[in-house]
Chain A
Amino acid sequence: MGSRIRFREWFFLLALLVMVGLMMEGCGLIGQQATGAGGNVVKIGAALSATGALAREGELMKRGYELWKDTVNEKGGIDVGGKKYKVDIIYYDDKGDATTAGKLVEKLITEDKVDFIMAPYSSGITAAASAISEKYQKIMIAPLANADSVYSRGFKYLFGVLYPVGEGFGLHIDYLNTLQPKVQKIAIIYPDDLYPTTAAEVVKKKAEGAGMRVVYFQKFPKGTQDLSALISGVKSSGAEALITSGYFEDNVLMVKTAKELKLNVKYLGGMGAPTQPDFVKTLGKNAEYVIGMSQWEPTSGWKGPFFGSSQDYNALYKKKYNEDATYYTAAASAGGLALQLALEKAGSVDTEKVRTALRALDVETFFTPIKFDDTGFNRSGKGLIVQIKDGKLNIVYPEKLAQSKGVFPMPEWDKR
């Protein structure tokens, strides 16, 4: 018993020391940071998921921010009123959790004294985090949050780069309308979460407006591990097309289960997941012909200042990360770019001036055109429908940008 007690004493003393250390840090006695002493630094804060369920998306976003930052700094910085400002980004891990994200945004604003905030991934977390930045009247650029409800709260300092979820996801219906023979019955399944629910509801309305019948419309619990019951339901509903607004794992599970249960629909569509490189890696040959919705592809064909064209951006990304860029990364870079353009135009790092400049922004970039409406939402982009062919993404819609005609109806599982 004796030695054990001694250990406890040590432990307790250690705990005491740690507490003292914490208090000292809290009072700023140690680890004090130079707060923009040079003056020529734009300090940006970003809370992103490095752990938790959204860690992968968080990583892709971080690459986008980093690519923008590095490119800016290599070119000497942002030209603000004749002075060159370098970019510095401070990252924290929000663990995919809204509360933590809120806490971190406050830390970034009050402790790290950042000038601007880049938002986390997903609409739900951004909704929580932006409430904090709005309070402090700091500009938050949200590259990957596009549920309408995030912007309908009358916030003045929040800017969303990605165009609205409904319009993007609704492209599935636009595309289906161009296909022959016409699809009459569609099934929609989605997890119970802010963004997927919004998307599913919008697309349902749109499908009905286009004269289709939504024969199966089901919400499943977030993070479900089995979809066989739903897929069987889809099968007996006689749907010709199945689309989901779920996250990556939901999409993968949907395709796997559809194959397993021999659900032969003509059209199997998802949200952003099929455009992630992991999708083909995970599903292999079964990923073929799956259709996804992208906000941006290297072949999007936009061009604009700084990064040049979509292709140029992709080349830059490829040089660094050895794979093609996804819209997650591109959107993050575009968020940075929007801020950069506003800074240049404003000629000042003052929040109010930059905010006015952001509001007035109307420019085509490598990502999409960017023009924020009164709610701070960029509605001017255009989405793409892509299909996986030979393990690669092919743009099939809109026709103007299509690389090849889509394969429709998709071949039955047995006949591949």
Chain B
Amino acid sequence: MSARAKPEPVQVVKERRDAALRALVHGVPYIQFLGIEFDRRGDELTALLPFDDKLIGNPMLPAIHGGVTAAFLEVTAIIELSWSLVWDEMESGRLDPRKLDPSHLPRLPKTIDFTVDYLRTGLPRDAYARARLNRSGRRYASVHVEAWQDNRSRLFAQGTGHFLMPERDARPDG
């Protein structure tokens, strides 16, 4: 009877996945500029935009700038899409997250178009977003994103974008 390989310790698995996500998110200057972070549960991501005065677009209300909302949704879509590519590569052992640094990031998808629906005023508090890959093909992807603040069921914005996928063999780690 051959002994089955012991499963990896949970901390090792977690650390590998978190390191990959950190490299992906922290490698993009504009994501850092806006202060967006990602919370991970298994492969599910939730984007978090902590409120900051520099995000204000209407000082009278005050309200979050529409451009910030658009950027938050687009960042969430791109990271979700990139994460799905990284996840498969990482879990199959083809990609070593320890080799990911700002100069060795996976190639990012390129936005073809992005449409934002502004449903409610963005209030001066933290915002959250989740993206869903409605289609993720070899060349093109269609992604839907929902963003909310206090109540998950009361969206303040939603968006849909189309993306051109990175070429597979152009990845640095081969």
Pairing of A with B: no
Binding site for B on A (CB under 8 A): none
